[in-house]
Amino acid sequence: MKKILHSAVFALLIGTAAAQTIPNNSFENWNYNIWKDPTNYTTANDQYVPHGIPATVTRIGAGSYHGSYSVSLLTDTVRVGGVKDTLQAYFANGNPGGGGPITGGIPYAQKPTGMRFYYICNVMPGDTALVLAVFKRSGSAVGICEAKLTGNQGTWALKIQPATILLTPDTVVFAATSSNLLLGNFSGYPGSSLSIDSVTFTGVASQPALMNGDFENWTTDTAAYPVSWSGSYPGVYQTTDKKGGTYAVEMTTQGKTVFNSAQPGSISTGYNNNGPTMGGNPFTNQIDTLEFYYKYAPQGGDTAEVNLEFKKNGGFVFGTGQFLQGTVGAYVLQKVPFNTNNPIDSAIISFQSTKTYQLSQNHVGSDLKVDNIWYASNPVVQSVNNLPSLGNLSVYPNPVKDVVNINTGKLQGDIQTLSVYDLSGRLLESTDHVNAIGSVISFNMSNYSTDLYIIRITTSAGNYFQKVSKL
């Protein structure tokens, strides 16, 4: 059984921003996705739902065979930007193989004669649903019990499947899927479905303590991602340990899972399409510098990484990056200068908590926090991020619902303009003002959407900035 990262999954997260800007560059805006999995199991939901895709593994209440709940699996499709992907539907407490190592599982030291369960299915022609148990001893497979289900079964039916087990095991890996995901790159046929309940092993005195074979216990999972960024799951978190604003993004290298030895936490303004990186945001400066604040606590001599990829008409033009070393305490400013030497039209920015995907376990726990990203060519965003505390501009109320008041008593020079920008540095509105220094300027923000904004007051002596949160 395998996990495939589909292009359409990540495409859902990638937004469009104004030219020469970085979307959600201060990580103030987040998407939250919540789902339920059978307790003690990894499911296809963990692969898709964090990125806004509907769950393919769901809990059945009314109509379950026994108890309060059973579990339902559906092979489905999603189409984003003209790309159509088939979504796998599975749950497993380990990886039963399918061309790879058999990993994970739960403790079990009895030798069953088979397994029994109740099921409903509607499997598309040419497809096969599977219910599978692999028995291990000292890490090696010593037995298997595999039930293949085809066709349509509209009411709950009992299935008894004999097992072939050579030695008494110490571990069992149990999995089910609505399509045969053990076949190479086959993802199944859309519409294949399987519901199961009351799974037990036969010919034994007791069942595995962590089996949850009646599917009465479910765990709620939550994923949070910065708006306009894609990311890994798990490994990306919202944090209030920030450089400015309310939030920063945190990426943590994850420990061993049933499908991977480990994986870094990572975010990107692009996504992988089984080869080339897709997406990105408009950008045309051939010579510039990416700047950002970061905080990094490595494990085992690890280093984090930032990467830039520049494209023209969808094709790769230039790439660069830097390794990020550990920091002590406070956020530090990092600069990544670049010269693409050729015209470009878009840029992809990526961060990850570990520099390589070939991870040793001593890198698990490496933690990278990033906040306030900008291009040096964008003076508004650069000024705000380099001056996070501007006490000489009093703005109230903040947060604001309708009218914000700006006390100009500590400003110098003659007031000239009031301008409002979003956090990417895009100018939204600018008005001329001739108010005397010391007066209060009132500005109506009732038509603005809920977000963070930058207010700039320009005087004959210079510019003053302040962030305002709109409710």
The 8-class DSSP code of residue 329 comes to S
CATH of residue 434: 2.60.40.3080
Last-in-domain residue among 199, 218, 237: 218
CA distance 301 to 304: 10
DSSP sequence for 150-182? -SEEEEEEEEEEE-EESS--SEEEEEEESS-TT
**For position 14, what pLDDT does the model report?**
43
Position 6 in a domain: no
- Residue 367 is predicted with a pLDDT of 96
For 259-281, what is the mean pLDDT? 75
Contacts of 275 (CB under 8 A, 6+ apart): none
Whether residue 185 sits in one domain with residue 99: yes
Please compute the mean of the pLDDT values over residues 135-139 and round it to a whole number. 94
Per-residue CA distances from 108 to 27, 215, 259, 274 (Å): 45, 18, 20, 38
Averaged over 127-143, what is the pLDDT? Answer: 95
Side-chain half-sphere CA neighbours of 162 within 13 A: 1
164-186 pLDDT, tens digit per residue, is: 999 999 999 999 999 987 776 67
Q: Which of residues 218, 246, 277 is at a domain's end?
A: 218
Query: Is residue 256 scored above 90 in pLDDT?
Result: no
pLDDT of 428 above 50: yes
- Would you state the pLDDT for residue 10? 42
Indicate if 349 and 287 belong to the same structural domain: yes
In a domain, 12, yes or no: no
Instruction: Mark whether 437 and 415 lie in a shared domain.
Output: yes
Same domain, yes or no, for 120 and 172?
A: yes
Q: Is residue 377 part of a domain?
A: yes
Query: Structure tokens of 37?
Result: 């999995």
Model pLDDT, residue 324: 97
User: Which amino acid does the sequence have at 273?
Assistant: N
| CATH assignment at residue 190 | 2.60.120.890
Which range, of 5-19, 73-87, 90-104, 340-354, averages the lowest pLDDT?
5-19
What is the domain range of residue 338?
A: 229-384
Altogether, the residues listed in the chain come to a count of: 471
Whether residue 248 is found in the same domain as residue 365 = yes
Give the Cβ contact number of residue 162 at 10 Å. 12
225: its two tokens: 């991602």
Q: Tell me the C-alpha distance between 402 and 449, whole Å.
A: 11
Tokens describing residue 306: 């930032």
Last residue of a domain, one of 384, 401, 434: 384
Tens digit of pLDDT for each residue in 45-96? 988 888 888 899 999 999 999 999 999 999 998 765 556 788 889 999 988 8
Q: Are 282 and 378 in contact (CB under 8 A)?
A: no
Written as six digits, the tokens of 284 are 């045309």
Q: How high does pLDDT run on average in the chain?
A: 85
At 128, is the secondary structure helix, strand, or coil? coil
For residues 117 and 11, what is the distance between their CA atoms, to the nearest angstrom? 38
Number of H helices, E strands in the chain: 3, 38
Q: Which residues, listed in sequence order, are joined to residue 164 by a DSSP beta bridge?
A: 144
Higher-scoring residue by pLDDT: 300, 384:
300
DSSP secondary structure letter of residue 330: S
pLDDT of residue 441: 86
Dihedral in degrees, nearest 10, Cα atoms 148, 150, 152, 153: -20
Looking at the fold, whether 280 and 367 belong to one and the same domain comes out as: yes
76 with 146, same domain? Answer: yes
Rounded to an integer, the average pLDDT of 314-320 is 93
Do residues 238 and 210 both lie within one domain?
A: no
Omega within 30 of 0 (cis) for the link into 101: no
Q: How sure is the predictor about 1, in pLDDT bands with cuts at 50, 70 and 90?
A: very low
Contact (CB, 8 A) for 237 and 224? yes
**SS3 breakdown of the chain: % helix, strand, coil, rounded to 5?**
5, 50, 45
Would you say residue 224 lies in a domain?
no
Across the range 111-129, mean pLDDT stands at: 96
Pair 216, 68: CB distance under 8 Å = yes
Q: Does 251 lie in the same domain as 208? A: no
96 occurs within a structural domain: yes
Residue 38 placed within a domain = yes
Inside any domain, residue 307: yes
What pTM did the predictor assign?
Answer: 0.72
Query: Which has the higher per-residue pLDDT, 294 or 273?
Result: 294
Say yes or no: 290 and 410 in one domain: no
With 90 as the cut, is the pLDDT of residue 424 above it? Answer: no
CA distances from 309 to 27, 120, 322, 337, 372 (A): 20, 48, 12, 13, 19
Q: Count how many domains the chain has.
A: 3
Question: Is 381 strand, coil or helix?
Answer: helix
Residues 6+ apart with CB under 8 A from 208: 106, 107, 108, 172, 201
Give strand pairing partners of 201.
115
Position 42 in a domain: yes
pLDDT at 433: 65
Q: Which residues contact 459 (CB under 8 A, 6 or more apart)?
A: 411, 412, 413, 414, 415, 416, 437
Q: What is the pLDDT of residue 16?
A: 38
Residues 197 and 57 placed together within one structural domain of the fold: yes
Q: Are 359 and 447 within one domain?
A: no
Query: Lowest mean pLDDT: which of 284-288, 380-384, 396-400?
Result: 380-384
Tell me: pLDDT of 274 over 70.
no
